[in-house]
Amino acid sequence: MTDPSPIILDCDPGHDDAVAMLLAWGNPAVDLLAVTTVAGNQTLDKVTRNALGVARAGGMDGLTVAAGADRPLVGPQLIPEEIHGESGLDGPALPAPDREVDPRHAVDLMADILREREPGTVTLVPTGALTNIALLTRMHPDVVDRVRQVVLMGGGHHTGNMTPAAEFNILADPEAAALVFDAPWTVTMCGLDVTHKALATPHFVRELTEIGTPLAGFVAELLEFFGASYTRERGYPAPPMHDPVAVAAVIDPTLVRTVAAPVAVETRGEHTRGMTVVDLRRTFDPEDPSSLLVRDTPGAVGAAGAGGTVEGTTATSPRPRPCGTGWPWTSTSRGSTGSSSTRSAPSGPPTWGDVTGGPAPPTPAGPRAPVDTPRRCRPANGGPVDNPPARPPVVRPVR
């Protein structure tokens, strides 16, 4: 039996963040060293209170919780209250905290842990805005090369959820995301292409309820509220488990297969701010034009969804920077569960690496994906809501 992988979970609870916390604490394949919070799904005070309540509900004795950035690097905070509610964790009654927040800033706590541990052993798992992780690269640059990898939930290479182009965690702080993708470490991007296929179905929620324990009931209530929000706001039949996907990718990297691709974060576009621009021009697949037809490499780190291994593709380093773009070079996985992207600092001369792969991903059966509607995301400072103008509906393609 291998030793558990030590991780720091940087999150903004949030219903799916709460499930990610419980998964990270309860699975023996990972060692949850600390939970750090960042303003995102609600204000910093609220998400930190939620993290403390989830820690108590899950019996996470001895777990360190530290609060981090209370706003993005640039601009006001955006809060998706229509999804997570006024508290950020509406639904079940949250138990009162049974511990104090660590007095250190989240970024300083991360740096302390990374200096205490052997280099290359600790994985950072951000499931909220990337403000804390970006600040780590600037405030403690000496620890960047001590990080084993960054496995994040955010972005996507086909679609957004807050705008047609941008996923919430990236849109919440695009400048921070750009810094994180540009840093000299390995990044795995578990995007919407994956997480929108990892659904907590009503059948699964019923099974949770039937377990009959207080914790199972707590999670079931979380998912019921989360599911109702997604059905009301976005027409989904069940809520996506965005953040647990990133934790699952650390628990079992064989759940997916990945392929290298450059990723840049758009910070200035009028209609595309917060978009993760994934360069898949070197790809071809009659089923999915952004997919590679290559031979599979086992053991690649990627994104996971419910229901087993992702049918997809993998490429290994050394990796080129195509056409002199200077974009961060990443890997991206495609398939029945979706996609992720992994970035590594290029090593050696810019030559196409050992590219391997498997069969083309099948086209999933089932109903068409729901129609996008404008998001109602309000500034944290209570300012006016900046709803996008009415536009014709955009239908996501069937994958």
Do 257 and 302 contact (CB within 8 A), yes or no? yes
Separation between Cα atoms, residue 15 and residue 67, nearest integer Å: 18
Residues 260 and 356: their CA atoms lie apart, in Å, by 11
Render 97-140 in DSSP notation, one character per residue: P-SPPPSS-HHHHHHHHHHHSPTT-EEEEE-S-SHHHHHHHHH-
Neighbours of 71 (CB within 10 A): 17
DSSP 181-232: HHSSS-EEEE-HHHHTT-B--HHHHHHHHHH--HHHHHHHHHHHHHHHHHHH
Q: Per the residue annotation, which of 84, 158, 196, 242 is the catalytic one?
A: 242
Would you call 242 a catalytic residue per the annotation? Answer: yes
Q: Give yes or no for a contact between 280 and 288, defined as CB atoms under 8 angstroms apart.
A: no
Contact (CB, 8 A) for 360 and 388: no
Output the six-digit token pair for 247: 């934790």
Among 73, 88, 10, which Cα is nearest to 43's?
88
For residue 26, give the 3-state DSSP assignment. helix
Residue 214 vs residues 144, 191, 223, 241: alpha-carbon distances, Å = 40, 31, 14, 21
CA 394 – CA 12 distance, rounded (Å): 29
- Angstrom CA distances, 310 to 160, 241, 377, 385, 399, stand at 21, 16, 32, 39, 13
Catalytic residues: 242
